[in-house]
Amino acid sequence: MQWYPGHMAKARDLLRKNIKLVDLILEVIDARIPISSSNPEINALKGQKPKLLILNKMDLASPAATARWQKWYKQQNCETIALNAISGQGLRNVMAAAHRLVQPTMKKLRDKGRRSRPARLMVVGIPNVGKSSLLNRIVGRKRAATGARPGITRGKQWIKVGGELELLDMPGILWPRIEDPSIGLKLAATGALPLESVPVEEVAHWLGALLVKKNPLQLKERYGFSSSPKDPNQMLDDIGIKRGMLLPGGVSDRDRVARLFLREFQNGQLGRITLELPPEGNYNGFCTHVP
């Protein structure tokens, strides 16, 4: 899947330049696709800076799956916090961990006799994972623009929180080549890629096939089917009939149905569903030990 407009390249430059200025990186990922939504470039650029991984949109993910992910990350020395950036559930844990993780750096500065300054935090992640929503939550009011489509934040912005913290909101950054097609599909299904740039019918079919296998009862309930769906094509056509999304001749309008289906998944209307589970064994590269 190809999707890498010019502002992404600009955002990478911003990341490269600003990473040096901060004391802690808050990487926001989507709890429904933790690995697919973490940007490998962040670890490549972050050097020795501590990082806290935030599994956001926990309200949309399976609680059991999120618990498994947190256990898995912990096994590799990677600290995670589950968050709902809309309700604020988990926010206190984020703040407590952030304060703790910046302490060693702040202490070093004090020991060197530097004048104390606010700790600087950078909120990074791929598009649409909830970076600005988290930042607004921390600040306690709406300072950063948020939106249901990717690419809302374009430039960087520093925001002060009391005298203790400074936060940098960053535009979403996607890595340039998504080699694994299933990662592209997951990013499209969860809304990290704008719908205009993805083959919606293909993505809806892929998601439909997965959910028919893993969550047939949720589909049955949501769309009022008389039995559990078995075939994704048939199911999408049946949704069209149920919702009156028909073309002349009475066949389902597959494009409209695909959009509806993806939107309902993204809004959590199909239930709390996680699309990937931790791989077996260790996963080198994504978690860097916090010193």
Among positions 226-245, residues that touch Mg ion (CB under 5 A) are none
Q: Which is nearer to ligand GTP, 140 or 147 (CB)?
A: 147
Q: Should residue 139 be labelled a site residue for ligand GTP when binding is judged by CB under 6 A?
A: no
The C-alpha atoms of residue 37 and residue 192 are separated, in whole angstroms, by 8
Residue type (1 letter), 58:
M
Within 142-181, the residues that bind Mg ion by CB under 5 A are: 152-153
252 near Mg ion, judged by CB under 5 A: no
Part of the chain binding ligand GTP (CB under 6 A), chosen from 41-49, 64-72, 106-114, 140-148:
140-148
User: Residue 86 binds which one of Mg ion, ligand GTP, none, with CB within 5 to 8 A depending on kind?
Assistant: ligand GTP
By DSSP bridging, strand 165-169 and strand 157-161 are antiparallel
Q: Where are the alpha helices (DSSP H) in the chain?
A: 6-18, 40-46, 63-75, 91-111, 131-139, 181-190, 200-214, 216-223, 232-242, 254-266
Instruction: Pick between residue 252 and residue 266 the one whose CB is nearest to ligand GTP.
Output: 266
Nearer to Mg ion, 104 or 140 (CB): 140
| Choice from 128, 190, 215, 252 touching ligand GTP (CB under 6 A) | 128
CA distances to 70, 89, 175 from 65, rounded to whole Å, are: 9, 17, 25
Q: In this complex, which beta carbon is closest to Mg ion, that of residue 80 or of residue 132?
A: 132
Which of Mg ion, ligand GTP, none does residue 59 bind (CB under 5 to 8 Å by kind)?
ligand GTP
Q: What is the C-alpha separation between 233 and 214, in angstroms, rounded?
A: 16
Shortest Å distance, C-beta 60 to Mg ion: 18
Query: Which residues lie below 8 Å from residue 188, measured CB to CB, with a gap of 6+?
Result: 1, 195, 198, 203, 262
Q: Judged by CB under 5 A, does residue 84 bind Mg ion?
A: no
* Cα angle: 239, vertex 150, 94; to 5 degrees: 105
The residue among 148 and 251 lying less far from ligand GTP, judged by its C-beta, is 148
Shortest spacing between CB 246 and Mg ion, in angstroms: 37
Q: Is 60 in the site for ligand GTP (CB under 6 A)?
A: yes
Q: Are 55 and 83 in contact (CB under 8 A)?
A: yes
Instruction: State the amino acid at position 153 in one-letter form.
Output: T
**For residues 1 and 33, what is the distance between their CA atoms, to the nearest angstrom?**
17
208's contact among ligand GTP, Mg ion, none, with CB below 5 to 8 A by partner kind, is none
- 126 or 235: CB nearest Mg ion: 126
Helix count and strand count (H, E) for the chain: 10, 6
- Which residues contact ligand GTP by CB under 6 A? 56-57, 59-60, 84-86, 125, 127-133, 146-148, 150-153, 171-172, 268
